[in-house]
Structure 1
Amino acid sequence: MSLLHIPFLADLATIRRDIHAYPELAFNELRTADLVARELASCGLRAHRGLARTGVIATLSKGSSCRSIGLRADMDALPLEEKNDFSHRSTSDGLMHACGHDGHTTMLLGAARYMAENVAELDFDGTVHFIFQPAEESEGGAAVMIADGLFEQFPMDAVFGLHNWPGIPVGEMAVMPGPVMAGTCAFEIWVHGHGCHAAMPHQGVDTLVVSSQLVLALQTVVARNLHPCESAVVSVTQMHGGEAWNIIPDDAVLRGTIRSFNAATQALVEGAVERLCSGIASAFGAQISVRFDHRYPPTVNSVAESEICRRVARELLGPDKLRVDELPSMGAEDFAYMLLEKPGCYVWLGNGPGSGGCTLHNPHYDFNDEILPLGVSYWVKLVQAVLGARSDDGRG
């Protein structure tokens, strides 16, 4: 490996564990934002605050080039009760950092500090914006930052993101052009029948039988409507109806998600869901309505920026540690909104085996501090690769 010498690694581990101990949900990352701003100020960087309420951005420039890029980390935690017992476990009931955003924030802080303290020796000509984003988990903080003027106030030619990835060994990185994370759409299906006594079902239209048929039928949407080489997932995650043991209820509701990698597939799936709802309603004499709530779009890496990231990963970790053919994830990521506006690349940095509960959104998860220097080194070397005074990537 060709890692940077980072003399303040112990400080970074302390910061990461402090953030972990005090998790905050979307748009409420007040303590975390204060910590980020304070750390940036300590190395001479001014923190701009206010975008998306709790967002923090710092800028570092060198030379005369007008080229600029953004590096983004997310700050928010999850509404999940932590089941770890180490000393830096969550101090807030029902909240924890179970996705590694504490580590992402810390690695970007480390990169900002390293670059600020060594700016004279670093080979880059241009501007780098360090973006600390709130509300990645389900609330679309990236879209809010953009709406609040992120790219107008901080012009940038490209934007880059990073996520720790349990299941990929420490010291390895996955970089893929094209779709890397799925888009997600929530759906809600209301089933209206005719309530009646459970002993006299012939007098009603059984909403729960209708709903059960619909749950099973929805599993055919992907298998029998998409080309076998296309990808999508339809999952029913909630089914609610009825309050008494001896009453067939009037109404029931189903909720779930659709995940896909492009708009055409999403439209095809939605059309199939609507046809099933209409057909089953007709077959049983019920009324069924469906509502789609489009959440995050697919996260799609641009080819040129992905190649730059691959080059950096090869030089940093070694050519045998770069994964170029990982399957995309059906998980969603709001960095997608930034990639709709600017070219860029979102990479996965190995967090370790991913066994024993150390998987994302698991109550036993903890970010692996062993990868802090890898993340810091990657960010710094990426800046030099994209904005290097002798860069040969065609952007100079």
Structure 2
Amino acid sequence: MNNIKELISFIESDILNIRRTLHQHPELSNQEYQTSALVKEKLTEYGIEFQTGFANTGVLGIIQGGHPGGTVALRADMDALPIQEANQHEFASENDGKMHACGHDAHTAMLLGAGYALQQQKEDLHGTVLLVFQPAEETSPYGGSQPMLDDGVFDQYTPDVIYGQHVWPSLPVGQVGIRDKEMMGASDRFKVTVKGKGGHASMPHDGNDALIITNQIISSLQTIVSRNVNPLDSAVVTIGRIEGGYGYNVIPEQVVFEGTVRTFKLEVKEKVKQRFHRVIQQTAEAFEGEAEVTYYDGYPATINTPEWAQTARKSAQRLLGEEATPSLDPALAGEDFSRFLLHYPGAFIWIGTQIEDADNQKPLHDSGFQLNEKALPIGSRYLVQVALDTLQSLAESKEGDRSAS
């Protein structure tokens, strides 16, 4: 542990500079060209082998230990959001309408720092550590993890376990959020076009008000969660955007609304989806209108593998103390890392990044979002620790299998 701390301390200023450089020059999903170039530049500087050609801008760093063993993958996402930054600090975004409001700049910087420390110890490693730099996490329902898998990111080196880490503004620096199972929700999207018949506001009987139909549909959709989903299960149906109408004296013939469905359990997701379509179509028909529904099945729920979540928790406690892993609830926010967990066991982890002035902490995806940079070296140290502990656990498991046979 002292060796890890020393290695990360040596590279700490580099981790900070990488994060600030990326924050100042954010790139949207599938456009992470400068970000990817910086990752490759740093991997080269640190002497880490890497491969490219995954989901266009994705990069895979490879640290092969001096001894045979298992394979652990550590993933960081790289893309920013289409948000105009409101902060005024010296490294605020210079790219109009683009901002790292979800901390992916920190994720990339922390993983590079961890990669440096692991590379320095590679001759002592029993196994291989993969550094997965993923594009396009913010483009639900498509994402970047599945394209990386489709492009063969793990064809040569197959992970036994994979971990992802995300900054979490509600957790103080020095705390780590880990759950044994449900961590984050499935994130479906929808767009609904409601069609009626236009007319003059003074003669509503000559038209069929699409706004009235939409109002009834939206009100009815809220009954799905309150009356069709078990109260002990989690589900959310949110309408985030409505567009329709021309003026105060015009009955609109069309209204469009968009939103999202969030769930944990697959069976709950399917029930909500089924009821969603039925409620919309039958309500529209009852008002003699029409409704066109486009429903996007987004990221699946992020469900940790209990064994490796427990390993990750022990790593955090070993590094930061027994009180570093508080009990916490899952979040229904979506996460593209979930698709990696469909193929490989592992865990998704929240790293505390709350600013000193906690009362003014802005949430993720806010134009004023900030994170506490004191968490950056902690995040790098933690990634190293969990990788080493997992390789050791894999080695012990293999040795146990040999003894049993």
Range of TM-score over shorter length: over 0.9
- Residue type of the partner of 1:126? G
Partner of 2:337: 335
1:381 to 380, 385, 388: 385
Displacement of 1:357 after TM fit?
Answer: 4.3
Task: Write the deviation string for residues 122-168 of structure 1: whole angstroms up to 9, x where unpaired.
Answer: 5x300111111111112401111011111213311111100010011
2:236 aligned partner: 233
User: In the alignment, what sits opposite 1:25?
Assistant: 28
Query: What is the one-letter code of the residue matched to 1:205?
Result: N
Provide the residue aligned with 1:190 in structure 2.
Answer: 193
CA apart distance, 1:390: 8.9
The Cα shift of 1:275 comes to 2.5
TM-aligned CA distance change 1:328 to 1:389, over 3 Å = closer
- SS for the counterpart of 2:49 is coil
Tell whether the 8 Å contact from 1:76 to 1:101 is kept in structure 2 after alignment: yes
**Match for 1:386: what amino acid?**
T
- Shift of residue 395, structure 1, vs aligned partner: 7.7
Residue number among 108, 115, 118 corresponding to 2:121 in the alignment: 118
**Aligned counterpart in structure 2 of residue 151 of structure 1, from 151, 154, 167:** 154
Residue identity in the other structure for 1:171? G
> Which runs of structure 1 show a deviation greater than 4 angstroms over 4 or more consecutive aligned residues?
393-396
Tell me the residue number matched to 1:277: 280
1:372 maps to what in 2? Answer: 376
Deviates more, 1:368-377 or 1:148-157: 148-157
Matches of 1:395 and 1:328, distance apart in 2: 35
Q: Which amino acid is the alignment partner of residue 339 of structure 1?
A: L
Alignment of 1:27-176 (within 5 A): 27-120=30-123, 122=124, 124-138=125-139, 139-176=142-179
Amino acid in structure 1 at the alignment position of 2:279: L
* Unpaired stretches in structure 2, ≥5 consecutive residues: 401-405
Deviation at 1:67, TM superposition (A): 1.4
Q: How many aligned residue pairs are there?
A: 393
**2-side partners of 1:383 and 1:186: how far apart?**
35
| DSSP-derived class of the 2:262 partner | strand
Specify the code of the residue in structure 2 equivalent to 1:192: K
Task: Tell me which residue corresponds to 1:216.
Answer: 219
Q: Which residue type is aligned with residue 361 of structure 1?
A: H
Q: Write the distance in 2 (CA, Å) between the matches of 1:4 and 1:221.
A: 51
Q: Tell me how far apart the structure 2 counterparts of residues 390 and 245 of structure 1 sit (CA, whole Å).
A: 67
Letter in 1 for 2:135: P
Secondary structure of the residue aligned to 1:17 is helix
Letter in 1 for 2:193: W
Taking structure 1 as the reference length, what is the TM-score of the superposition? 0.95
Instruction: Give SS of 1:4's match.
Output: helix
C-alpha distance 16-237 of structure 1, shift in aligned 2 (>3 A): same
Whether the 8 Å CA contact 1:308–1:393 is kept in 2: the answer is no
Q: Which has the higher helix share?
A: 2
Tell me the SS of whatever aligns to 1:362: coil
Counterpart in the other structure of 1:206: 209
Distance in 1 separating the partners of 2:284 and 2:399: 57
Quickly say closer, same or farther: Cα 1:319–1:393, change in 2 above 3 A.
farther
Local SS of the residue matching 1:330? coil
| Percent of matched pairs sharing the same residue | 36
Rounded to whole Å, the distance in 2 between the matches of 1:210 and 1:389 is 58
Q: 2-side partners of 1:291 and 1:17: how far apart?
A: 39
Mapped to 1, the partners of 2:106 and 2:313 lie a distance apart of: 22
Deviation at 1:268, TM superposition (A): 0.8
Residue of structure 2 aligned with 1:181, choices 172, 180, 184: 184
Q: TM-score, normalised by structure 2?
A: 0.93
Deviates more, 1:290-299 or 1:69-78: 290-299
Q: Are 2:362 and 2:368, in contact at CA under 8 Å, matched by a contact in 1? A: yes
- 1:208-260 per-position Cα deviation (integer Å, ceiling 9, x unaligned): 11101111221221011111100010001111222233221222122110000
Kindly provide the amino acid, as one letter, of the partner of residue 53 in structure 2.
Answer: G
**In 2, distance between residues paired with 1:98 and 1:395?**
44
Q: How far 1:391 moved relative to its partner? A: 4.8
Cα pair distance change 1:390/1:291, threshold 3 Å: closer
Give the distance between the partners of 1:279 and 1:130, measured in 2 at CA: 50
Give 1:393 shift.
5.2
